[in-house]
Copies of this chain bind each other. A is one copy, B any other.
């Protein structure tokens, strides 16, 4: 047995068809996603008029206050596209003729809505033909096009039907005529990034390099001077007014990451979803073009995000004002916007960085975002959604059945439906396990089929057992992620311990001839961890969060007798984790004892000179992703911590990233 210190491996996700899940954590969620969320979302899109809007009845330009009319919203095409994409991922693993017929019909409507020149946008065709392609800064034509391309790629891969692909290739070629560096072209790019990463997908499916080049053009043109959005505004007869446009940004176009060329960007700024989609495309281009400068830009931006601007839940973008970033270390909990789509976008970016570099830090954050912010955004019933994902609620925050800007529900839905893409990576030399669960992965090494059987109760338990189905022993590299949150991973092959000291970048690589008799046992101990935020995080001062494995915990009002701000966890308090099968479909909860301030001796007094008395009270913390599913009430991720003085001389070792 050897622990091969390979150079960084570049991974490719497995096709969805080659991955099965039969675990107790994800599988029920994916089933609900398929059987409830998918039809529910279609129903909502029908209800608000997004389906009928494809009939292109011209109407006056009136944006309704509520999404109850049939006047199209500017981004409905993208919502339909995300639904189609979700269906496509579902059909890949669960053939369903009725569902396929439903999506075929929708694709037919979309095809019929395409203009004779290839242009395809419901809103501008029906509502504002004169406004077409005149304001990429604010209007979402290229954004919608990107989602439609993603939908077409997934639909083609799942069904083999090429109508939609043809429609979108035609629209793409139309757009390539409009935007470019030719004499009659506009040196433009979208205000809301999305099409760039979609074009890479289109390139990968079709092999047509012009789509990749178009993506490169859009990414590289971004932020060049003179600013396209300035030029475009002047072409409309408007004066570019950065003060009015920039959503409080210090710089013009920081809101849409167009303040300077992407290779010069080193701060994650502006609208969080847009940022994630742009960086995902940059990582894609870095991979496809071997462009080191783009990779370095991504690494700098990643470092900025993860060291200064990220919630412990994997959420990002604290401000509702710009749906995005504010300043370093500004991470408010109760007003945290942390939009679902931003965390979904972070998963996209993290996966691309992981595949590009083989570095486990990207898998760590992908996992953190997925198990916490992303999963929190959809209820276990599959039909209630958070648009924003605060880390503290005073009782007034609950999931909604719909949102006036319904981007998030179908975004989570398509991510869940394609979860198989995120679990494994294959390289020419073998397979890597990025996220642990129970199920199978089918892959090929040297022309021979291998089926990997994985069993675990992850994320509640860190024991993972692996076996293989193969016809004859076969030499390949099995790469196992050693999560950053885990202090003392243990590994055994056929009962024999493997030294993990050679593991690096968060993976151990085992290269040997594997046979059907081999068994690999990975143990990832999951003690309850206390997590502290950097001292510059004002909103974390004096507070502690609880984490176990990849799961971030919270305390809910349903489990406390007093307002949650009254609870203070002693530095020394023992905390135990127990799996409770009847709680929220089965979950591990953390229990212990806290101190709680008493108010009985404050009759009519608002301020006094003696500190509040405290009593002990039970603590119960539940996974953050599962909150707001019992009696409505408060929630807090960050709890006050009290106790032993933190003297400099006796300070413990700084510890690790959680």
A residues contacting B by CB (< 8 A) are 303, 306-308, 310, 312, 394, 529-538, 541-542, 544-545, 562-563, 565-566, 568, 570-571, 595, 597-599, 601-602, 604-616, 640-643, 645-648, 651-658
Contact = CB atoms under 8 A, between A and B. Distances in A.
A610 B654 contact: yes
A570 B640 CA distance: 16
Contacts of A607: 312, 531-534, 545, 657-658
Given A535-B602, A536-B599, A648-B614, A608 B655 contact: yes
Nearest to A542: B640
Contacts of A654: 601-602, 605, 608, 610, 613
B535 A599 contact: yes
Contacts of A602: 534-535, 654
A610 B529 CA distance: 9
Question: Chain A binding site: helix, strand, loop or mixed by DSSP?
Answer: loop
A244 to B, nearest CB: 13
A609 B642 contact: no
A609 B563 contact: no
A533 B643 CA distance: 20
A642 to B, nearest CB: 7
Contacts of A598: 535, 648
B568 A542 contact: yes
How many copies, total?
Answer: 2
Contacts of A647: 614
A307 B656 contact: no
A601 B545 CA distance: 20
The 9 closest A-B pairs by CB, nearest first: A610-B655, A609-B655, A535-B597, A613-B651, A538-B565, A541-B565, A535-B599, A614-B646, A307-B604
A533 B610 CA distance: 10
Contacts of A610: 532, 651-655
A28 to B, nearest CB: 30
A614 B535 CA distance: 10
14 contacts: A530-B609, A531-B608, A532-B608, A532-B611, A535-B566, A541-B565, A541-B640, A601-B654, A607-B658, A609-B656, A613-B648, A642-B642, A642-B645, A642-B646
A528 to B, nearest CB: 11
Contacts of A657: 605, 607-609
A91 B542 CA distance: 54
Given A307-B606, A642-B645, 6 more contacts: A535-B599, A545-B607, A602-B654, A608-B657, A613-B651, A615-B648
Interface centre among A535, A536, A571, A602 (most CB of B within 10 A): A535
Nearest to A614: B646
Contacts of A535: 562-563, 566, 597-599, 602, 612
